[in-house]
Structure 1
Amino acid sequence: MNRQIITMKNTTRIIGLLYLMIIMSACERNLKQVDGLQDIPFPKGDRAILPHLTSNDGKLYLSWVDSLTGSSTRLLYSSLQDGRWLEPKVLTTGENWFVNWADYPMIAAHDGHILSHYLQQTATGKMAYGIQYNVSTANGKQNGTYQPLNNDHTDTEHGFVSMIPYRDSSFLVAWLDGRNMEGADHGHGGHHGGTMSVRAAEVTASGDVIDEQILDASACTCCQTTASMTSNGPVVLYRDCTEDNIRDIVIVRKVGDVWTKPIPIYADNWFIQGCPVNGPKSAAVDNTLAVAWFTAADDNPRVQLIFSNNGGEKFNAPILISNKEVLGRVDVSLIDSTQAVVSWMQSKGQETFLYAMKVNVNGKKGPIRQIAALSSSRKTGFPQMEIFDGQLYFAWMSVHDNGTLLKTAAMAITDF
């Protein structure tokens, strides 16, 4: 009798535990459904750093850097198929690369070709590196070896590249060029006897660099550049630097065959004597241009978004995205000509998160979506976001006690 009672009690407990597990499992599923973010497994993510997302030619691409044994480093990329990353393709492997948390290698795809770049140290013991680039086919065949994009042969800084598909099968490339800073102090402060310029050129499918132009003779020394293609032509945006150390975001546009003079997209009037290492991001659909950026003018750190409906010739009033302990490191993608999604990093107490939010041209904002918990350290780098096939894709570095892990995830645009 006692044994029967004990057995019944045990059975009741087991049923109760099973029921509880079913309820908890259902709750977890509901949480995932509500959150909408779907993890995309990334093999060997513990060795990968500096992710970059881009899409074109009906494909989504992810590029990254692997640090191998010793001083050897390699650049790889993969494309997404049926919700998973395909076997990576190695673009190049080398030594003495300049590997930096904010100045990351990237690729651009256009008409069956892949343009890629990395940074190569040119002198030891100081900030001196150049841009190495190459054009390959989408199946991995390279047009020769990597070669310098900048042709000045000075032991100065060259980097913060942006690259987009241009005309026919060519690419437009813009970069920061420090050739005029040779012999000057590269402390990322003021001008110190030399200025950082912004240059742009066209790279053909065969790898030739043509039509190189100086877009600006004086810019901020270490903020990312960004470029987009509008119906009126290409635009390049970056953080400027005046003689008075006002570092606002400016735009140059190519009208016909001529680049316009730099003009601010909005006068933040941010006075800062050192580079904040926090560049803008832009996106274009037809003649709608959206630009997201970070500023701390008036001691008020904030992330802002601005729209233009004429390819960057004029801009609407800026839209405040957040001014609550923001770190910046923004990205932006356009859903269509009236809606954008902005991502940014923001702290909350002792924690830091990657957030994203949908915003339309009239300033109407959707709910803030928490994408991931992050570290505020440099190891996190600059999270990436890209719209592709009705989904928003994210890539970021997760920092933990044993190192870092590259993670990717997707979320339906309709969940915003």
Structure 2
Amino acid sequence: MSSVPPSEAAYDRIRLRQWTRGRARSAGVGRRDLLKLVAAASAAGSLASVASPAHAAGSLPGVVKPLPPELFTLRGTNAETNFAALRDTGLLTPADRFFVRNHTATPRIDAADWRLKVWGDGLTGGPVEFSYADLLALPSVSRTAFVECAGNARSFYASQQNQPVTGTAWTLGAIGTARWRGVRLADVLHRAGIGRDAVDVLPRGLDGEVVSDGIQLGRVRRPLPVAKALDDVLLAYEMNGEPLPPDHGFPVRLIVPSWVGIASIKWVGDIEVSAQPLLSPWNTTLYRLFGPAHPPEGSAPLSRQTLKSAFELAQGATFTAHRHQVLTGRSWSGGAPVRSVEVSTDGGTRWHRARLRDEPRQGSWVRWSADWVPAEPGPAVLLARATDRSGRSQPEVSVHNTQGYLFDAVVRHPVTVV
């Protein structure tokens, strides 16, 4: 098989047609229930009415690590990194500041008892199991990559564009970049005997089963096209040189570079290799785009992340007039590496090129800085916009969708000059 994946857009269009025509197999949930959830997903409500309120605290039930309020804002079962807390870190996000996205609660798993089962009709033989020691004995690979929730920046649909969306009201902190070490998923699949007729690879997590609108969705799982699975995906067991922390997937998780975070399944327990196209709630009702700008049946399942920029600065920060300041931030893209970043300190009237502090690389972010001498006291709005090497730049307005995914517009960052 070729190690170069085909067009992701082409794959997604094929899956969308198979879904709408009933030609893909639903892995674990009845088609009638999936159709019911799709109908609900296509109707938008107010973000404030459905999103869990944000609050600051030192801990969260279901999350193992401490969550001090200077580092995190808590949102339901999740913890968002306060972007200002990244200012004194390097390119990599320390594990104690890495955002947490949990559908239920962090499971506590003993690595000695853990097994990865690879199974399905896309294998040439029967099921194969790997222990934790088995994976550690295989050739390892390290890769720097960000993991970002598809709903990162979702709240700006409401606050900047006055458009209703559903879901967790993330600002820009549902992202982190780490140095991941593990085994190529391709190596494990080849050892398990992946066949030439395999088309989808479905990893499943060991966290608790999810219930939505009274429907049992099962454990979190989302299929990957076999070409992507055989390309650059890792079964990671280390994060920044240490074993994965419990909240970030111990003992083993997937890392799917540049794709929406739901693809990087945590606490992997089994992987189905299928000779038929597979569907789950996480690529049918969830992680697709619904709304007036999208097809009535919804878009194809989301794959690559979009383009964003953020200041390493608290909302409403205060600056002293006529005093030199150095503004810092980060930009990233799920497509081509970031090429340039521009900053405006007057609400978008004038733009100035920022200095890149890192060599832009695929699947990672770049840090940047820009000088500013605030003039007169009063309110000010800071803006940052990135352009990647494909020529794509952040727009002024993001195309709306009811579930608030893939917000890519320039974010307005209000501050005060005194």
TM range, normalised to the smaller chain? under 0.3
Higher strand share: 1
Higher helix share: 2
Higher relative contact order (CA 8 A, sep 6+): 2
TM-score (ref. length: structure 1):
0.26
TM-score (ref. length: structure 2):
0.26
